[in-house]
Structure formats: structure tokens, C-alpha cells
Structure 1
Amino acid sequence: MSKTNRPKIIFVLSFLTAAFWVVGQFVDVYHFAIVGAIFEIVWLPMIVLLFVLPVLSLFYLVKEKFSPKSLYLYSFLMLLATGLFLYLKS
């Protein structure tokens, strides 16, 4: 993985992780069996990403000296908001 693609990959993974958890809170994923099966298969990797991606984002953000233009900052904030949303929703 090149250094130029890393922020984009982390940002896209953060967006997909956030979207997965938010959609899972508002949509009945078990209404259709295939959607429920996919949700169950992807559930564990998404939990891992929900905890690992903010740490990676924060690590690379510190390496970039907290640049406001960094995609790592927006990845971190998106995952922080998702975690707070899930915590406060339950």
C-alpha cells in the first residue's frame, strides 16, 4: 500500500463502517433472510474496524501533526460520532 492511498483507504473503510452501524440501527436487517445473513457475516469484522480504525486514524493524524486537511481527522471524527451514536442509542 502506497502512502498516497492509505488515507483514502482508511477514510472509505471508516465511512463503510459508520454506514453499516447506522443503517443497522434504523433498518430491520432481518426482514429479508439474505440481508440478515450478510449482516451476521460482516458483523464481527465491523466491530473490529470500529475499534481499530480510530486508533489507526489517530496514530497517522499525530504523525501528520494534526493537519486539518488530513482525511485521518475526518475518519477519526466520523468513527467517534458513530461510537457515540451507538452508545447513546442503546
Structure 2
Amino acid sequence: MSEMKKPVIIDTLGKLLDGGYAFNLWCVDCTRGGLLPIDPFVKKLGRDHPMDIDGHVKCGRCGGKNVEVRIQAPQAGDRPFQTNERRFMSLSDSSRPAS
């Protein structure tokens, strides 16, 4: 009989980064959307931060914080998400650590 495999639990930004995931963000106010890599969030919030980043993003076009956040899984065989393209969204100022 085959051995039962344990489920993979991806519950932190670090695990999303390691798995090659990205955020698919959509501004409800101005309908701008796009993919954003996980690494800026890991740098600001830490690898152990929960996947919930609501309140930590704002639209790069209108500045609104009414942004839907979805997790974009990598396609089979894809390397971890990397981009040099201009970012569609940005980290919110409120997500920066206190100095």
C-alpha cells in the first residue's frame, strides 16, 4: 500500500515566494490590474507574514486602496516569478515598518 502524502500548506509570504507564486491585483476603483511579484512584500513584511496583504497595497494609477488580491499560481515547469517590468501596483505607505 502506498504511503499517505501530507498536504502542502502555503500560508506565508515566504512560502508563496519559494513556490514561484505572484499576486494578481485589481483596483476596483479605476480597473487597473496586473501581476506583482511576492518579493517586495517579503522584504517589507517578512517571510513569516500571513498571505493576507489587504491594506498593504495601493493602486499605482489612482492611489486607491480598494484593491482585490488574488494569488497567481505558477504554471507547471515555470521558474519563480521574476519581472523587470514596471509595477502595476505598489506597497502602501502604511505597510512600511516603523522607524
TM-score interval (norm. to shorter): under 0.3
Pick the structure with more strand per residue.
2
Pick the structure with more helix per residue.
1
Relative contact order (C-alpha < 8 Å, sep 6+): which is higher? 1
Normalised by the length of structure 2, the TM-score is 0.23
Normalised by the length of structure 1, the TM-score is 0.25
